[in-house]
Amino acid sequence: MNPLKVKEKLQSFLIEDIGERDISTGWLQDETTTVDVLAKQTGTLAGIGLLANGYQLLNEKIEVITYKSDGEVIVAGELLARIKGPASSVLSGERVLLNLIQRMSGIATATAAAVRELNDPNIKICDTRKTTPGLRLFEKYAVRCGGGVNHRYGLYDAVMIKDNHIDACGGSIHATVERAREVSGHLVKIEVEARDEEEVIAAVDAQADVIMFDNANPDTTRSWTRHIPETIATEASGSISPDTLSTYRGCGVDYISLGYLTHSVQALDISMNHTMEATDYVFS
Q: Which of 162, 189, 195, 222 is catalytic?
A: 162
Measured at the CA of 270, the angle between CA 267 and CA 274, to 5 degrees, comes to 155
Q: Is 7 a catalytic residue?
A: no
Q: Are strands 159-161 and 190-194 parallel, antiparallel or unpaired?
A: parallel
Whole-number Å distance between alpha carbons of 119 and 116: 5
Whole-number Å distance between alpha carbons of 92 and 26: 10
Contact yes or no for 57/10 (Cβ under 8 A): yes
Q: Is 120 a catalytic residue?
A: no
Q: Which of 8, 31, 60, 95 is catalytic?
A: 95
Whole-number Å distance between alpha carbons of 168 and 172: 9
In which element (H, E) is residue 213 found?
strand 210-214
Q: Is 21 a catalytic residue?
A: no
Q: Which residues contact 102 (CB under 8 A, 6 or more apart)?
A: 267, 268, 269, 270
Q: Which of 120, 139, 191, 193 is catalytic?
A: 193
Q: Is 31 a catalytic residue?
A: no
Long-range contacts of 21-26 (CB under 8 A, 24+ apart): 22/88, 22/91, 22/92, 24/91, 25/87, 25/88, 25/91, 25/92, 26/88
Q: Is 95 a catalytic residue?
A: yes
Q: Which of 127, 139, 214, 235 is catalytic?
A: 214
Q: Which of 129, 130, 189, 222 is catalytic?
A: 130
Q: Give the active site residues.
A: 95, 130, 162, 193, 214
